[in-house]
Amino acid sequence: MKMKLLMAITLCVLLSACKKVQVANVSATEDDIEFVAKHSTLGAPVDADATTETRALFHNLHRLATQGIMFGHEADNANGYGWQYTPGRSDVKEVVGEYPAVFGWDMGQYEIGYTWNVEGTNFVKMRQYIKDVYDQGGVNTISWHMHNPMDSTQSAKGTMDSVIYKIFADTVALNHYKAWLGGVATYVKTLVGSDGKTIPIIFRPFHEHTGTWFWWGKDRCTPDEFKNIWRFTIDYFRSQGVHNLLYAYSPDRITSQSDYLERYPGDDYVDILGLDCYDTINFHPGNTFITTANPMISIVTTLARQKSKLSAITETGLSQVPVTNWWTQFLSPITKDKNLSYVLLWRNFQTQFWTPYVGQASASDFVTFHADETNFFQHRIASEYLYKTSLLNIDFETSNTLADYQNASGPNYRQFNAIVTDAGATIAIDSARLKFTGSGAATSNSYIIRSNYIAPVDAKLMMFSFNISNHGPITPSTNPVIRVQFGTGFTINNLIETASLTHSEFGIHFPSDGHMTFVDENAAVTGTGNYTGEKNVRLIVNNSGAAKNYIAPDGTTESIANDTWDLWVGTVKEFNDRTATNAAKALNNFKMNIKNIGGQYIDLDDFNIKEL
């Protein structure tokens, strides 16, 4: 799920169209941004003119899929069990304390002039709900239960056969269909966030086509007819200036890879490979849902990996959730460690529900499901800034060859300048992580460095994160074994950079087997936490010239003073507003220096840098 990019492209990803700037002797233009998207081994949105925010969402979803899965719920903030349109309400939020990461919506009935969709949600209100989700950092996906274009009195489940054939066989019918597409195109272009940006949407047309219940289903059209209407629809949206959509392909249950691909419209028309896969009470108490779902999901994720696409469970659930441990014992086994971007549960409304409400039988198990840090809800997703492009993004998924992640003179945003060991220590890619094994020679240093063009030279609010776990046995360390530095003018060598070149820095040491503590290197102050297991470490650095706010990993909005830094370990704020080592230095360079102490090994993963 990784990629290769152009040197210094990372400097320009957030620039406006056609704007050119000179940064550290490198000019960056929108053409560079397009090169990044088109030549990434992560793939790119199929719309070559996709907005910067849509491209960022695509790549961030790729990145996060290796770490966990986003939890989604249809119309979560619009409807719930026994309620509708109550500001701030959410059945999910009332059970676990936060919103889902993904919200589903539907355009059905907009095409026939109704003011509410097939789910009973007013389209004006839906626009506001979508904006609210975007503003809070979440993701929106839209399906379309479209009425029959040949007979608008028939719903998506109308009984007419050969609808697609008839649309393209009659100019009047085709123009009628175009008018429907034009109306939806106009609607999605009016989805704008508080930042003035057009909101990226995961758009999921013609879903469950392997079933027989929709007019686009497998018994109602040929494979070629289905492909034709899919391609025509996406091409028409593009012709209408719609460039904020990622397109999801989502059949219902499948029997094989060839079954999944039978009506696949082609790699140029699909961003996300999905699957609608519902549980039913008929699977219980036999408990065959897992054995039924996992082979289908494996087909989807395998194809997504081959095609450099995203993958997702685009609809699932067990109606009324009568199985009290369904979340941890049935949903988790089909979603965990699959590299899926998200899973979407269907909606709650009046007397029907697919996620628990307070007091429902499965609510306590849902709380346990939520506590799993690999299941992402609003707080984690908001802190990831999905609509901002990473300036550095390395997660060791693409290759097991260390050389692929380094380039001394011109690294792309998926590479360091150097990853170097000495004195017998080793660094290698192992299980999609960078594994450092110490030699026991405490005076020797290994290092990882990005010494050019991480960020523009002007002041910024930057976020740097990585995952780390320590594995003993080790010689206990009273001094930082790892030293992380940000600044300007760093040298490709194993020396710790001087204070004159370093804006901010922190250290990590290992007081006992498997444990980690964190250090403010400038003030020689050790934090209070003693951590075990794999932890996400997140440094927020502000040299913008003024106090700033940012979304923290625990979902809170945090303030950070100018020329200071905060350090988070998981959802714990280990350091707050620590004074910069040298406020005059910009945040262009990064170095991680590792002492070869003790013989332990350290796993490092998911290096990510972005401007907030």
- Rounded CA-CA distance 273/341 in Å is 10
* Partners of residue 448 on adjacent β-strands: 419, 592
Tell me whether residue 315 is one of the annotated catalytic residues: yes
Angle at 81 between CA 76 and CA 86, to 5 degrees: 60
Closest CA to 426 of 410, 406, 446, 444: 446
CB 188 within 8 A of CB 245: yes
Give the Å distances, CA to CA, from 204 to 164, 199, 246, 251, 272.
18, 16, 8, 10, 9
**Strand, helix or coil for residue 332:** helix
Please, which residues have CB within 8 angstroms of residue 569's CB and are 6 or more apart in sequence? 518, 529, 531, 535, 536, 537, 538
315, 505, 521, 558: the active-site residue:
315
CA torsion through residues 598, 602, 607, 609, sign: negative
Q: Point out the catalytic residue in the list 98, 119, 208, 574.
A: 208
For residue 581, give Cα distances in angstroms to 352, 445, 486, 500, 612: 57, 22, 10, 8, 21
**62 CB-near residues (< 8 Å, 6+ apart):** 1, 42, 43, 310, 341
Helix (H) or strand (E) holding 607: strand 601-611
d(CA 167, CA 157): 17
Spatial distance between the Cα atoms of 52 and 198, rounded to a whole number of angstroms: 10
Cβ of 598: how many Cβ atoms within 10 Å? 21
* Residue 211 to residue 394: CA distance in whole angstroms: 40
Task: Count how many Cα atoms sit within 13 Å of the Cα of residue 279 in the half-sphere of its side chain.
Answer: 30
CB 56 within 8 A of CB 388: yes
- As given in the structure block, the two tokens for residue 9 are 């492209």
Residue 505 known to be catalytic: no
DSSP characters over 207-269: TTTTSSSSTTSTTTS-HHHHHHHHHHHHHHHHHTT--SEEEEE--S--SSHHHHHTT---GGG
Q: How far apart are CA 40 and CA 263, in angstroms?
A: 26
Token pair 């896969």 is found at 277
CA 157 to centroid of chain Cα atoms: 33
- What is residue 349's DSSP assignment? B
CA distance 427 to 418: 12
Q: Is omega for the bond preceding 285 within 30 degrees of 0, making it cis? A: yes
Could you give the CA distance from residue 39 to residue 387 in angstroms, rounded to a whole number?
20
**If you ran DSSP here, which 8-state letter would residue 335 be given?**
H
- Quote the CA–CA distance of 596 and 481 in Å, as a whole number: 8
List residues with catalytic annotation.
208, 315
